């Protein structure tokens, strides 16, 4: 597999208001491959957002390297190009929506980078279709649900035609229905449009949808693997202050009580099937 993003021994320090150095990233090495869906989990303050902000050069390394599509983020002549390869979606959709009409909002990004008007129309239509918001093109964003607003924000990023989308807790402010809308939308973009996805979340049920998961603690990667590898390591997850998906926890508890179950159960469907057998 070909790497889209190469991170080598990445360190990031902030200086807080008292002048103290905060080591937010303490040597992260990670390759993110083209077309993969990677989830990043970790307790509050473990460095997830700091890592995310390096992926499109919103932050630059204190030490180490972050290379996006062959371009070093530390080289400022790459900035413009890197930002077109990697789009970011944040927690609060209200902060990301700038226009009074959905389609104008989605057009905002391409207009800013000088895409010709005729092509903007196509990009906006495609982006809205990809997130299932075509019928809301003429609506006012502030009247939409949280999940719909967040889908418009994703469409705005898509209209820039990035290879990779980084989402930093995109569902944190949404209700359960909105959360499902977003995860499904992101999964579809990954599967059908081969967009590389880096998805930061506190919801393990969302992380379970990824091809690969990394779990962070104190600015380093503590666990790394496929969802069924990560979520069956219940004790290690708890040590990182993380929950396990309900089914994975139930399977773990049943095994502790001496009930024999197949390996790698993490979803409700897998657990139901195994218990019925
Ligand atoms: N601008 C900043 N100035 C100083 N310290 C910061 C700044 N931003 C983050 N930090 C510190 O860096 C560390 C990592 O923060 P970061 O926001 O990357 O964590 P996170 O995993 O995204 O946490 P959360 O789950 O709460 O979003 C924390 O100790 C945090 O307090
Ligand atoms: Mg964060």
What DSSP element (H or E) covers 130?
A: helix 117-130
Mention every residue, 6+ apart, whose C-beta is less than 8 A from residue 170: 89, 90, 91, 150, 154, 182, 186, 199, 201
Q: How far is the CA of 237 from the centre of ligand 1 (A)?
A: 20
Q: How far is the CA of 23 from the centre of ligand 1 (A)?
A: 9
Q: How far is the CA of 48 from the centre of ligand 1 (A)?
A: 8
pTM, full prediction? 0.96
Q: Residue 47: what pLDDT? A: 98
Q: In this structure, which residues have their CB less than 5 angstroms from ion ligand 2?
A: 48-49
Check if the beta carbon of residue 68 is closer than 8 Å to that of residue 59: no
Ligand 1 neighbourhood includes 24 CB (under 6 angstroms): yes
Q: Residue 147: what pLDDT? A: 96
Q: Residue 158: what pLDDT? A: 96
For the domain 3-244, what is the CATH code?
3.40.50.300
Check if the beta carbon of residue 24 is closer than 8 Å to that of residue 18: no
CA separation, residue 246 to residues 5, 38, 105, 204 (Å): 32, 21, 38, 9
Q: How far is the CA of 197 from the centre of ligand 1 (A)?
A: 21
Residue nearest to atom 1 of ligand 1 (CA): 14
Q: How far is the CA of 200 from the centre of ligand 2 (A)?
A: 8
The beta strand positions in the chain, using DSSP E, are: 3-15, 21-33, 37-42, 63-68, 71-72, 86-89, 164-168, 196-200, 212-217, 220-225
Q: Residue 277: what pLDDT? A: 82
- Looking at the CA of 215, name the nearest ligand: 1
Ligand 1 neighbourhood includes 49 CB (under 6 angstroms): yes
pLDDT, tens digit (0-9, with 9 covering 90-100), for 211-233: 999 999 999 999 999 999 999 99
Whole-angstrom Cα distance, residue 201 to residue 213? Answer: 11
Q: CB 135: neighbour CB atoms within 10 A? A: 9
Which regions in the chain score pLDDT beneath 50? none
Q: Residue 1: what pLDDT? A: 80
By CB atoms closer than 10 A (0-12, 13-18, 19+), residue 80 is: exposed
- For strand 196-200 and strand 164-168, is the pairing parallel, antiparallel, or unpaired? parallel
Residue nearest to atom 17 of ligand 1 (CA): 49
Ligand 1 neighbourhood includes 240 CB (under 6 angstroms): no
Ligand 1 neighbourhood includes 232 CB (under 6 angstroms): no
Q: Residue 85: what pLDDT? A: 95
Whole-angstrom Cα distance, residue 184 to residue 97? Answer: 21
3-state secondary structure of 59: coil
What 8-state DSSP symbol labels residue 94?
Answer: G
Phi, psi of 107 (to 5 degrees): -75, -20
The structure tokens 């590898």 sit at 229
Ligand 1 neighbourhood includes 13 CB (under 6 angstroms): no
């Amino acid at each position: 597999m070909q790497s889209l993003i190469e991170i080598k021994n990445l360190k990031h320090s902030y200086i807080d208001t008292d002048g103290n150095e905060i080591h937010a990233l303490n040597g992260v090495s990670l390759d993110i491959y083209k077309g993969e869906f990677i989830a990043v989990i970790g307790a509050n303050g473990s460095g997830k957002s700091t890592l995310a902000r390096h992926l499109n050069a919103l932050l630059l390394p204190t030490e180490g390297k972050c290379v996006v599509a062959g371009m070093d983020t530390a080289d400022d002549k790459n900035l413009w190009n890197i930002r077109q390869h990697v789009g970011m979606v944040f927690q609060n959709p209200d902060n990301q929506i700038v226009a009074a009409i959905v389609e104008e909002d989605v057009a905002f990004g391409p207009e800013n980078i000088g895409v010709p008007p005729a092509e903007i129309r196509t990009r906006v239509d495609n982006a809205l279709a990809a997130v299932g918001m075509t019928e809301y093109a003429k609506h006012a964003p502030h009247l939409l649900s949280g999940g719909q607003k967040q889908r418009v924000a994703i469409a705005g990023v898509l209209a820039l035609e990035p290879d990779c989308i980084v989402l930093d807790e995109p569902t944190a402010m949404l209700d359960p229905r909105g959360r499902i809308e977003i995860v499904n939308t992101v999964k579809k973009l990954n599967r059908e449009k081969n967009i590389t996805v880096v998805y930061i979340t506190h919801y393990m049920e969302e992380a379970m949808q990824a091809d690969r998961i990394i779990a962070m603690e104190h600015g380093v990667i503590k666990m790394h693997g496929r969802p069924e590898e990560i979520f069956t390591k219940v004790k290690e997850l708890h040590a990182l202050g993380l929950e396990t998906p309900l089914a994975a926890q139930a399977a773990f508890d049943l095994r502790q009580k001496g009930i024999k179950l197949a390996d790698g159960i993490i979803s409700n469907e897998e657990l139901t099937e195994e218990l019925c057998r």
